[in-house]
């Protein structure tokens, strides 16, 4: 049973006046459809008040006075013994108020929804958009500075780059033969990596690749594979994923990330699984440089099963091949770490 049906048969007596200047009349009050119905003693309707627009005040003697909201001149006063009607009106007013729309709550809900959307954008959309924008506008010199900063932290995990003079000369010749003069190459003592690319066009190669194989084309293949991986899984983008929005904005303004961020990236980048390469694209890189793909293919897989495409392509190729580095330079490169 609703509050309204509970009080539909309830009636009470009271005193009503239409305005401050009007005569006070004895009236009968009953409950209507979300309203108070006021009639005279002959049941002639005098007023019809909405419970939703009903206001309550108190007289000087403390009794309750009812009037339409905004019109305090029209007043109804219940009889002194009409407590049940007073309780009914109070209860019905509360019931009507609960059903009334709450603009404040709606505003709070709307504001909360907006904040959630903004938060979601800041968490999921903004970082990616900011990274993309940064990589599009970043000057090459700033990317190189970032690469050097990363490399300075990276070597704490793989060791300082090898630097025997004849080896450095051979390494420069190697990069020139490959047509990759815009890249910086480093040979490091660690065997935890084979080859890996860093931001700023930096390629780091393990001394194991240089010392353990007799053919420079093996190292050339690893370097060309890293160039392809750089295009598919950009190291700068991966680094920026570890930077918060403030660090990215500061980087745009010329400030390098904190050493802890660079060190964390370096550690993760070493152990991160490298993306697979497209053997057809890699084979094209070998062909452009007239370098044989066979040494690299068998160094990757001695059975040749996983590199079958490049092996077959090489065998049917009619192009003249040349070593990526002459014998004397290769011997110098093999001793770059003092071996």
Q: Which of 43-57, 129-143, 145-159, 215-229 has the lowest mean pLDDT?
A: 129-143
State the pLDDT at residue 135: 65
**Whether pLDDT at 87 is above 90:** no
CA distance 182 to 180: 5
Q: What percent of the chain has pLDDT over 70?
A: 85
Q: 181 — phi, psi (to 5°)?
A: -65, -25
Asked if 181 and 201 count as a contact pair (C-beta separation under 8 A), the reply is no
Burial label, 298 (beta-carbon count in 10 A; 0-12, 13-18, 19+):
middle
256 touches 149 (CB < 8 A): yes
Query: 113 versus 256: which is more confidently predicted?
Result: 256
pLDDT single digits (tens) 241-292: 888 888 878 877 778 888 899 999 999 999 988 889 999 999 999 999 999 9
pLDDT given for residue 104 in this prediction: 59
CB 202 within 8 A of CB 184: yes
The band of 214, judged by pLDDT with boundaries at 50, 70 and 90, is very high
Q: Which residue has the higher pLDDT, 289 or 131?
A: 289
pLDDT at 130 > cutoff 60:
yes
Residue 1 is predicted with a pLDDT of 41
Contacts 24+ apart (CB under 8 A), 126-131: 126/245, 127/241, 127/245, 127/248, 130/245, 130/248, 130/249, 131/237, 131/240, 131/241, 131/248
């Amino acid at each position: 049973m609703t509050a309204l049906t509970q009080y539909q048969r309830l009636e009470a007596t009271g005193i009503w006046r239409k305005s401050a200047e009007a005569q006070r009349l004895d009236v009968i009050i009953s409950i209507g459809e979300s309203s108070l119905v006021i009639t005279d003693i002959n049941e002639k309707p005098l007023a019809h008040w909405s419970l939703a627009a009903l206001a309550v005040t108190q007289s000087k003697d403390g009794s309750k006075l009812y009037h339409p909201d905004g019109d305090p001149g029209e007043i109804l006063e219940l009889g002194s013994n009409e407590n049940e009607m007073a309780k009914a009106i109070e209860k019905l007013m509360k019931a009507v108020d609960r059903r009334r729309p709450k603009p404040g709550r709606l505003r709070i809900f709307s504001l909360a929804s907006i904040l959630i959307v903004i938060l979601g954008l800041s968490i999921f959309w903004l970082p990616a958009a900011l990274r993309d924008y940064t990589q599009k506008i970043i000057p090459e010199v700033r990317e190189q500075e970032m690469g050097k900063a990363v490399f300075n932290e990276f070597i704490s995990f793989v060791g300082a780059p090898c630097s025997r003079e004849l080896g450095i000369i051979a390494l420069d010749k190697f990069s020139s033969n490959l047509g990759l003069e815009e890249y910086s190459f480093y040979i490091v003592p660690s065997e935890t990596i084979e080859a890996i690319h860093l931001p700023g066009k930096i390629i780091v190669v393990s001394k194991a690749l240089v010392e353990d194989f007799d053919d420079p084309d093996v190292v050339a293949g690893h370097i060309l594979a890293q160039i392809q991986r750089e295009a598919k899984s950009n190291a700068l983008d991966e680094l920026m994923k570890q930077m918060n929005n403030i660090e990215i904005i500061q980087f745009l303004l010329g400030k390098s990330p904190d050493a802890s961020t660079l060190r964390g990236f370096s550690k993760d980048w070493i152990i991160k699984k490298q993306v697979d390469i497209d053997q057809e694209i890699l084979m094209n890189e070998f062909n452009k440089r007239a370098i044989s793909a066979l040494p690299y293919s068998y160094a990757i897989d001695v059975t040749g099963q996983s590199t079958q495409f490049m092996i077959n392509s090489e065998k049917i190729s009619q192009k003249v091949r040349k070593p990526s580095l002459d014998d004397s330079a290769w011997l110098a490169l093999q001793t770059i770490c003092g071996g």
